[in-house]
């Protein structure tokens, strides 16, 4: 179970919220938003991970292949050579 110990780090809940809104890097904003949601009791760590995982999943995940066979090699590719042994 994840628990945010604000007193240990000398922070308030509002500090996490402000960092989540104004951090320079998107991943930093996402992480502080998760900490804020967990610390405020709105989400637990599992629920927070499940909601953010859908947004960060690559666009190609779950899609089907458009080419059923292997691609053909380029005509300018070097010819295959037998191994020396």
pLDDT of residue 12: 92
Q: What is the pLDDT of residues 36-82, one digit of tens each?
A: 988 888 878 777 677 665 555 555 555 556 656 666 666 666 666 77
Rounded distance between C-alpha atoms, residue 3 and residue 60, angstroms: 34
Would you say residue 36 lies in a domain?
yes
Would you say residue 83 lies in a domain?
no
pLDDT of residue 6: 86
Q: How many domains does the chain have?
A: 1
Domain residue limits at 14: 10-56
Would you say residue 70 lies in a domain?
no
**C-alpha angle 59-64-68 in degrees, rounded to nearest 5:** 135
Would you say residue 62 lies in a domain?
no
Would you say residue 48 lies in a domain?
yes
Would you say residue 61 lies in a domain?
no
């Amino acid at each position: 179970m994840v628990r945010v110990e604000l007193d240990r780090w000398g922070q308030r809940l509002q500090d996490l919220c402000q960092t989540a809104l104004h951090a320079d890097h998107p991943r930093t904003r996402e992480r502080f938003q998760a900490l804020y949601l967990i610390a405020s009791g709105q989400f637990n760590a599992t629920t927070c991970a499940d909601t953010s995982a859908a947004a960060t999943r690559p666009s190609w995940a779950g899609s089907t292949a458009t080419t059923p066979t292997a691609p053909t090699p380029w005509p300018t590719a070097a010819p295959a050579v037998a191994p020396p042994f």
